[in-house]
């Protein structure tokens, strides 16, 4: 496990368990207590946890919206990510949309894959750079709360590129199409879909059948949907009728 992913996992464990000891974390992660202490000190410096004698406790009120979403349905997102990377082939140009599920995909991409990755998600770029994958950030205005790049620079970067495969995150997918709650991300997502040869929507079960405020794509724009639990019959039928390959039972 890469150091940054390990630290994220430590934060998740500390929050889920409402506190952990150094020995508990060392056993869970199969690492030395010295490494755990070093990680806890680093996380405390970032205000991601509160350091205690012998361990750590959560500082939930200091978590950003992005950190909260990363923790929510974490196991489902990791399961989706493991399935999603099977769609990647060597020498492809792969686009990773911003979001916690696409970040999980970035963590699952094998180091020996000969691919190029484009993203507007700085944490994904950082993680893939550690794995020595060729990675390009779009540039643009940084949204600290949601950890993505948006604005005209990001849009121009996407407009000038063509992608073999795009993994797109959503706040909702329903019979009319794909939706997001973020106004400044909607145009980026629209361009990502438009400029990609193959579009794969990755969404945990909480997003399936949900409808957010801004629609950025139709079902006809999508090639595949990957989610962790079976989709309700009517919506699944709508997806299949639109020509979408559905992978929806990963339990």
Are 105 and 138 members of one domain? yes
- Comparing CA positions, the residue from 147, 145, 13, 158 lying closest to residue 74 is 13
What is the predicted pLDDT for the residue at 21?
Answer: 94
Q: Domain ends where: 31, 63, 95?
A: 63
Place of tokens 């399936």: 208
Reported as a pLDDT band with limits 50, 70 and 90, residue 46 is confident
Reported as a pLDDT band with limits 50, 70 and 90, residue 67 is low
Which two tokens mark 176?
């009319």
Are 112 and 168 members of one domain? yes
Interval 219-245 mean pLDDT = 96
Are 80 and 152 members of one domain? yes
Are 213 and 101 members of one domain? yes
* pLDDT per residue as tens digits for the range 226-236: 999 999 999 99
Place of tokens 């970067």: 157
Q: Which residue range(s) make up the domain with 51?
A: 3-63
Q: Domain ends where: 12, 42, 63?
A: 63
Rounded CA-CA distance 11/15 in Å is: 6
Query: What is the SS3 assignment for 202?
Result: strand
Stated as kind and residue range, the H or E segment containing 119 is: strand 116-119
Are 40 and 85 members of one domain? no
Are 116 and 149 members of one domain? yes
Are 159 and 190 members of one domain? yes
Name the average pLDDT for the chain.
Answer: 91
What is the predicted pLDDT for the residue at 72?
Answer: 63
**pLDDT over 80 (residue 63):** no
Reported as a pLDDT band with limits 50, 70 and 90, residue 70 is low
Higher-pLDDT residue of 57 and 188 is: 188
Are 126 and 216 members of one domain? yes
Are 58 and 122 members of one domain? no
What is the predicted pLDDT for the residue at 6?
Answer: 92
**pLDDT over 60 (residue 35):** yes
What is the predicted pLDDT for the residue at 7?
Answer: 92
What is the predicted pLDDT for the residue at 251?
Answer: 67
Higher-pLDDT residue of 162 and 53 is: 162
Are 42 and 87 members of one domain? no
Are 52 and 20 members of one domain? yes
* pLDDT per residue as tens digits for the range 161-189: 999 999 999 999 999 999 998 888 999 99
Q: Domain ends where: 11, 33, 63?
A: 63
Reported as a pLDDT band with limits 50, 70 and 90, residue 220 is very high
Are 41 and 165 members of one domain? no
**pLDDT over 70 (residue 60):** no
Percentage of the chain with pLDDT > 70? 94
Reported as a pLDDT band with limits 50, 70 and 90, residue 159 is very high
**pLDDT over 70 (residue 68):** no
Rounded CA-CA distance 219/176 in Å is: 7
What is the predicted pLDDT for the residue at 36?
Answer: 95
Rounded CA-CA distance 213/28 in Å is: 40
CATH number at residue 21: 1.10.10.10
Interval 28-50 mean pLDDT = 93
Number of structural domains (the chain) is 2
Rounded CA-CA distance 234/147 in Å is: 34
CATH number at residue 184: 3.40.50.1360
Q: Are 247 and 225 in contact (CB under 8 A)?
A: yes
Q: Are 89 and 27 in contact (CB under 8 A)?
A: no
**pLDDT over 60 (residue 61):** no
Q: Are 180 and 212 in contact (CB under 8 A)?
A: yes
């Amino acid at each position: 496990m890469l150091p940054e992913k390990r630290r994220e996992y430590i934060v998740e464990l500390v929050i889920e368990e409402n506190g952990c000891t150094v020995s508990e974390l060392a056993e869970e992660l199969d690492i030395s207590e010295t490494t755990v202490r070093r990680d806890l000190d680093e996380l405390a410096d970032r205000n991601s946890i509160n350091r205690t004698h012998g361990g750590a406790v959560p500082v939930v009120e200091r978590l950003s919206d992005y950190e909260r979403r990363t923790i929510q349905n974490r196991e489902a997102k990791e399961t989706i990510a493991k399935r999603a990377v099977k769609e990647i082939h060597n020498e492809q140009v792969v686009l990773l949309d911003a979001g916690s599920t696409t970040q999980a995909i970035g963590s699952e991409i094998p180091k020996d894959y000969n691919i190029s990755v484009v993203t507007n998600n700085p944490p994904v770029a950082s993680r893939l750079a550690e794995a020595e994958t060729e990675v390009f950030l779009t540039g643009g205005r940084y949204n600290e709360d949601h950890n993505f790049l948006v604005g005209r620079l990001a849009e121009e970067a996407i407009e000038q590129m063509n992608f073999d495969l795009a993994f797109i995150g959503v706040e909702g997918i329903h019979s009319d199409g794909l939706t997001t709650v973020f106004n400044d991300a909607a145009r980026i997502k629209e361009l990502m879909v438009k400029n990609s040869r193959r579009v794969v929507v990755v969404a945990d079960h909480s997003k399936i059948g949900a409808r957010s405020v801004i629609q950025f794509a139709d079902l006809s724009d999508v090639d595949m949907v990957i989610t962790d639990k079976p989709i309700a019959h009517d919506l699944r039928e709508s997806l299949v009728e639109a020509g979408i390959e559905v992978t929806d039972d990963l339990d």
